Structure 1
Amino acid sequence: SIVIHEVSHGLMADYLGDPTAKLAGRLTLNPLKHLDPIGSILVPLILIISKVGIVFGWAKPVPINPFNLRDKVYGQAKVAIAGPLANILVALVFGLMIRFLPFLSSSQIGENLTIIFSYIVWINLVLAIFNLLPIPPLDGSHILFTFLPERFDNLKIFLVQYQLFILLFFIFFCLHLIIPLVSWIFYLIVGVSFF
């Protein structure tokens, strides 16, 4: 899901005139091309070993050169929204399969697939909603900055300057606040609750 998210950024950038991700060989679903040694391996491993109750990580961001984008005004926002939209699309596909394919509940294999598909829906919805938060370096911040008037440049500078602290604070103390929204969207798509 993280790979699909990142590749979607690159595909949108390429569509808008920026071939940077394609030239870097990053428009691939091969997860090895997107591994970030710290964010994909070290941080999740430390969190699992320390048993803090939360595990998170990240992939290597797809390289984008905003100066190559044909749409100079909204190009970065379009590239940013592509990742969360891809996650929502994946959630919709698997969620609608759970909802409308009757064979998924008629056998043990079907029940196991339903569980796997449910996790795919849940994870993709969490990724989409989380990445839409207006906290740098998340996608939501790129969207916010596109539409934020110049008089709010000090806010933009503050968010960028303290992005690590703000993001970590949110992850450790406020992440639970997005769960009701994710649960509601899950219910809308699948027709049943996740928990």
Structure 2
Amino acid sequence: MEIISFIFIILIFLFSIIIHEVSHGAMADYLGDPTAKLAGRLTLNPIKHLDPIGSIFVPLMLIISRVGIIFGWAKPVPINPFNLKDKVYGQAKVALAGPLANILVALIFGIALRFLPFLFSTQIGAKLIIIFSYIVWINLVLAIFNLMPIPPLDGSHILFTFLPKQFDKLKIFLIQYQLFILLFFIFFGFSLIIPLVKWAFHLIVGIPFS
């Protein structure tokens, strides 16, 4: 049963990061940049998005090691900001599309858990509760993590859009040392977002995540 649970968690994670990346590309296409579309990335076909290390190996190792978090990445969708019709807020809109898509997925499955209890009244329904709960949890983790203002996460593109000119040195610093800052956050700061994820889960579903 544990192996089956691992498989389900991996599949949910892959589904969630693919939705995230496709949403970036779809928003860019809507705003006038067809780069992702021309590259064949506006598809839910996982083959187009999987990164062998970030999409499979890393999350699998985290699940097996039971560290309590799941983390990874897909191949970034190619975006050409010069094609965007909105030159001021275009990059922020594209960046925000990914986390918002994850939040929408979490809301859909969370509301189903909260307001459609008859769906889960059978033995199969009990298993659906677990699957739906993981879908909500993983999508909330992805959304909140990616909203962190650390390059190359989505939150950094939103931050840089609204950051005043006098903070250009901060922007350069964050970009120059992004790998070290991101790794530091993952290993020492990731746990800080878990209370926020728990709060959001409880708010949507009505019960704590377990």
**TM-score with structure 2 setting the length:** 0.88
Q: 1:99 Cα shift?
A: 0.6
**Structure 1 counterpart of 2:170, one-letter code:** L
Matched, 1:93 2:104: no
Distance 1:75 1:99, change over 3 A: same
What CA distance in whole angstroms lies between the structure 1 residues aligned with 2:38 and 2:78? 10
Percent identity between matched residues is 82
**Structure 1 counterpart of 2:181, one-letter code:** I
What CA distance in whole angstroms lies between the structure 1 residues aligned with 2:58 and 2:196? 26
Partner of 1:185: 200
Distance 1:47 1:113, change over 3 A: closer
**Structure 2 counterpart of 1:37, one-letter code:** P
SS state of the match for residue 22, structure 2? helix
Partner of 1:37: 52
| Structural RMSD (CA) | 1.5
Contact 1:104 1:114 in 2 (8 A): no
2:191 to 176, 184, 188: 176
Q: 1:42 Cα shift?
A: 4.3
- Deviation by residue 1:44-72 (Cα, 9 ceiling, x = unmatched): 456567x4835522100000000000000
Partner of 2:129: 114
What CA distance in whole angstroms lies between the structure 2 residues aligned with 1:44 and 1:123? 12
Matched, 1:148 2:163: yes
What CA distance in whole angstroms lies between the structure 2 residues aligned with 1:12 and 1:106? 38
Partner of 2:13: none
SS state of the match for residue 8, structure 1? helix
Q: 1:107 Cα shift?
A: 1.3
**Structure 1 counterpart of 2:24, one-letter code:** H
Query: Which 10-residue stretch deviates more, 52-61 or 167-176?
Result: 52-61
Distance 1:106 1:43, change over 3 A: closer
2:39 to 24, 27, 30: 24
Contact 1:20 1:63 in 2 (8 A): yes
What CA distance in whole angstroms lies between the structure 1 residues aligned with 2:129 and 2:33? 39
What CA distance in whole angstroms lies between the structure 2 residues aligned with 1:16 and 1:108? 46
What CA distance in whole angstroms lies between the structure 2 residues aligned with 1:47 and 1:115? 19
Distance 1:82 1:56, change over 3 A: same
Q: 1:157 Cα shift?
A: 0.7
Q: 1:103 Cα shift?
A: 1.8
**Structure 2 counterpart of 1:4, one-letter code:** I
What CA distance in whole angstroms lies between the structure 2 residues aligned with 1:57 and 1:70? 31
**Unaligned stretches of 5+ residues in structure 2:** 1-15
Partner of 2:19: 4
Matched, 1:127 2:106: no
Contact 1:20 1:65 in 2 (8 A): yes
